[in-house]
Structure 1
Amino acid sequence: MIHVTKSFLPDIKEYISLLEQIWANGQLTNDGPLVLELEKKIAEYLEVENFLFVSNGTIALQLVIKALELQGDVVTTPFSYCATTTALIWENCNPVFADISLNSLTCEVQDIQKVISSQTSGILTTHVYGNCGNLLEQEELAKEYGIPLIYDGAHAFGVKYKGKSIFNYGTISTCSFHATKIFHTIEGGAVITNNNELCEKVRGIRSFGHKADDYFAAGINGKNSEFHAAMGLINLTYFPQIRDHRKGASELYDSILSPQVGRIQWNPDNIRNFSYFPIILPSEEKLLQVIAELNEAEIYPRRYFYPALNELPYLTYQACPIAEDISKRILCLPLSAEISAENIKKITEIINSLL
């Protein structure tokens, strides 16, 4: 079977060598030496000021929303994983959806301007598949309204925008290190910001809102363990190799897929990480036909993202026609650090035969 992704696993002996260090020092969590080493190494690798390792990408969003004290309306995207919206709901904010660009599938300034108001307390958008819109324009808009700009960068590890890490833009960013991501720590996530004061606030509420025995905030347990950090430290050394393989696989897909298969427009100012390979089919009917034929061959792509978040059954509907249309026609094809050229050709032949 060929699934939409396959988690990268290093040589088990490398992992065991770090487990032995954990057994030797006896510290399993609470900012252990491997967690601190991982935070330092990733901050250096990404060339960012502050990097906090947390439990997962959803907790990362909730920590940020809480630290920024967002209330009421928050402009956000209808085209993302459900965690982007549910993090807002869990923190008692009201998601206000700005439709997406037909090319980049991200929220651009002109989309945000249609729904932003004096009641808006923040902006939370997603770097979709690691792609982004005009970040400098978005920063200017947030500055004009005097509100924070949050980027959900769950897919964006290793992406650069205009020569800098994409995490250097906006007020604060989050990332996911779930096992399915291009860089993973089994479970995990991150909060990244160049604002030192904001970083320390997040650091505090990540650990129940206390320092030593002094409680100063209503915090939560957003920490991560030495075992997850160990996987991250090893996988970080393999990241260039993983990205290069996925780049080659993506280029092969591109070279042999039918021109009738739509693609998203990647921002030319980005250095990509090739975390996903999305295609856009002519109709939902054709998408369902492609899925059925691939499944028959034991190939399992994913409708990612579907449905559009503004159509979630527990929300009051807000029209976003572009996101609704794209979500019905977009499909992520299998992509991993191990996918073979033979399997890519097999997948592509099936898709091309149906168009």
Structure 2
Amino acid sequence: MRTAPLEPAAAADNLLTAERPVQATLRRLEEEFSQILGAAPAAESAADPVYVTRPFLPPLEEFEPLLRQIWQTRILTNGGPFHRELEARLRVHLGVPEVALFNNATTALIMALRALDLSGEVITTPYSFVATSHALLWSGLTPVFVDIDPVTLNLDPNRIEAAITPRTRAILPVHCYGQPCDVEAIARLADRHGLKVIYDAAHAFGVRHRGRSVLNHGDLSVLSFHATKVFNTFEGGAIVCADPAMKDRIDKLKNFGHDGETSVPDVGLNGKMSELNAALGLVQLRHISTALARRQAVDTAYRAGLQAIPGIRCLDFAGEGAANYAYFPILIGPDYPISRDALYDALKHDGIHPRRYFHPLISDFPMYRTLPSARREDLPVAAAAADRVLCLPIYPDLDPGVIARIVRRIAQP
């Protein structure tokens, strides 16, 4: 459950009284966090801009031998040895049956929809990055937006059934911020109505639910390995599926639809991951546990520092057995002295660059707003979240002094 809302502050007096425990907590956390990080990169200067994320990169000397192999073999793409090895290692690491690598997650999502031969309507969330619904339009499908759950900010299963029509063919939920959807409830709905389920799992690398990877749910799950994600290959993505026959179909679709040298039985595109990207992925896997542990330390520091600030609520975990700390969203309540957008501007003025993920709603953009399901009055929870959520900077080498600086600025808007 999400933490209960804090009681309204008695204006500035309460904020000043909250400042003392905030400062003491921050001093303690800076010491503890520095011990957890160990030999982290040099501290960021107070003059350096702090962005919402910074890509994790492994030591260059570990990447160089793989680059030399690529130069020696001159195999650059088309399912080379590093591509095959990364698929195999990801299957083991994630605990999933099949992994098909792609050049990016948007291409992977479009090919996932194609692989299931969908047409008609697909129920989805308005609260996500716009690529989720763009993939539907590229595939000739009609998005049908339904509201989100107020606790997890994921697609609300209680609202899905009312949106099902004779034209509905699938459900496209998003594990928002890496928090698992109510996969059991969605599966029951899909089974009852004969619908496919494709999870946009761009945020969910390494997340486990009830003892196994959350990627094992649904017909297909789509991962992103973009530079901003917890596991990156510069650019990249993948489709997780349950059986070799579907993996074979997906592999053909991402290679222009080829089935052999002279046979093209399907309309595919060029979605292959290169050997350079796959090689980086292999090196990244060596460090993913450390990267996630450092993200967890940042998450812990934020939660401890922010808990005493009236009007600031941290999004609670959604029951995941293993989280990946992909984002750190906070909700700005009406009892906070200034609005979410005013805090966003104040932080940017100080060189801190949070993001309003996800504002505006997908359904507010011009290509979607004329859809009957896009009316804001029918999406009140999503609309409220879009107006209140602010994602704070989080990445493995975020300096503890910077975390303290961010929390102090929020405590003193």
Q: What band does the TM-score fall into relative to the shorter chain? A: over 0.9
In structure 1, how many angstroms separate the alpha carbons of the residues matched to 2:195 and 2:59? 46
In structure 1, how many angstroms separate the alpha carbons of the residues matched to 2:162 and 2:311? 32
**Equivalent residue for 1:96, pick from 144, 151, 155:** 144
Quote how far apart the aligned CAs of 1:117 are: 2.1
In structure 2, how many angstroms separate the alpha carbons of the residues matched to 1:147 and 1:327? 28
In structure 1, how many angstroms separate the alpha carbons of the residues matched to 2:128 and 2:56? 23
**Equivalent residue for 2:292, pick from 243, 249, 265:** 243
In structure 2, how many angstroms separate the alpha carbons of the residues matched to 1:50 and 1:235? 20
Quote how far apart the aligned CAs of 1:75 are: 0.2
Quote how far apart the aligned CAs of 1:211 are: 2.3
In structure 1, how many angstroms separate the alpha carbons of the residues matched to 2:180 and 2:119? 26
In structure 2, how many angstroms separate the alpha carbons of the residues matched to 1:191 and 1:249? 29
Code of the aligned partner of 2:332: L
In structure 1, how many angstroms separate the alpha carbons of the residues matched to 2:325 and 2:63? 25
Number of residue equivalences: 354
Quote how far apart the aligned CAs of 1:270 are: 3.5
Task: Report what 2:38 is aligned to.
Answer: none
Contact 1:152 1:174 in 2 (8 A): yes
In structure 2, how many angstroms separate the alpha carbons of the residues matched to 1:71 and 1:248? 44
Residue 144 of structure 2: SS of its match in structure 1? strand
Moved more, 173-182 or 138-147: 138-147
In structure 2, how many angstroms separate the alpha carbons of the residues matched to 1:123 and 1:306? 22
Residue 126 of structure 1: SS of its match in structure 2? coil
Q: Which runs of 5+ in 1 are unaligned?
A: none
Code of the aligned partner of 1:301: P
Moved more, 112-121 or 31-40: 112-121
In structure 2, how many angstroms separate the alpha carbons of the residues matched to 1:72 and 1:265? 35
Quote how far apart the aligned CAs of 1:195 are: 3.2
Task: Report what 2:121 is aligned to.
Answer: 73
- Which of 1 and 2 has greater Rg? 2
Code of the aligned partner of 2:367: Y
Task: Report what 1:225 is aligned to.
Answer: 274
Task: Report what 2:52 is aligned to.
Answer: 4
In structure 1, how many angstroms separate the alpha carbons of the residues matched to 2:191 and 2:310? 41
In structure 2, how many angstroms separate the alpha carbons of the residues matched to 1:182 and 1:111? 31
Quote how far apart the aligned CAs of 1:304 are: 1.0
Code of the aligned partner of 1:288: D
Residue 175 of structure 1: SS of its match in structure 2? strand
**Equivalent residue for 1:117, pick from 165, 190, 212:** 165
Q: Which runs of 5+ in 2 are unaligned?
A: 1-48
In structure 1, how many angstroms separate the alpha carbons of the residues matched to 2:294 and 2:228? 16
Normalised to the residue count of structure 1, the TM-score between the two structures is 0.97
Matches within 5 A, 1:149-164: 149-164=197-212
Code of the aligned partner of 2:409: I
**Equivalent residue for 2:321, pick from 258, 270, 286:** 270
Residue 270 of structure 1: SS of its match in structure 2? coil
Matches within 5 A, 1:161-176: 161-176=209-224
Quote how far apart the aligned CAs of 1:340 are: 1.4
Task: Report what 2:243 is aligned to.
Answer: 195
Code of the aligned partner of 1:339: L
Matches within 5 A, 1:317-332: 317-318=374-375, 319-332=378-391
Q: Please give the root-mean-square deviation of Cα atoms over the aligned residues, in Å.
A: 1.3
Task: Report what 1:312 is aligned to.
Answer: 365
Contact 1:96 1:115 in 2 (8 A): yes
Quote how far apart the aligned CAs of 1:265 are: 3.2
Residue 211 of structure 1: SS of its match in structure 2? coil
Quote how far apart the aligned CAs of 1:259 are: 4.6
1:353 aligns with 2:384: no
Q: Which has the higher contact order (CA 8 A, sep 6+)?
A: 2
Quote how far apart the aligned CAs of 1:11 are: 1.4
In structure 2, how many angstroms separate the alpha carbons of the residues matched to 1:195 and 1:307? 37
Code of the aligned partner of 1:321: P
In structure 2, how many angstroms separate the alpha carbons of the residues matched to 1:259 and 1:209? 56
Moved more, 315-324 or 91-100: 315-324
In structure 1, how many angstroms separate the alpha carbons of the residues matched to 2:289 and 2:59? 16
In structure 2, how many angstroms separate the alpha carbons of the residues matched to 1:52 and 1:191? 5
Contact 1:64 1:191 in 2 (8 A): yes
In structure 2, how many angstroms separate the alpha carbons of the residues matched to 1:211 and 1:259? 60
Residue 292 of structure 2: SS of its match in structure 1? helix
Quote how far apart the aligned CAs of 1:164 are: 0.3
Quote how far apart the aligned CAs of 1:198 are: 2.1
Normalised to the residue count of structure 2, the TM-score between the two structures is 0.84
Provide closer, same or farther for how the CA distance between residues 117 and 195 of structure 1 changes in structure 2, counting only shifts above 3 A.
farther
Contact 1:125 1:150 in 2 (8 A): yes
Residue 218 of structure 2: SS of its match in structure 1? coil
Residue 249 of structure 1: SS of its match in structure 2? helix
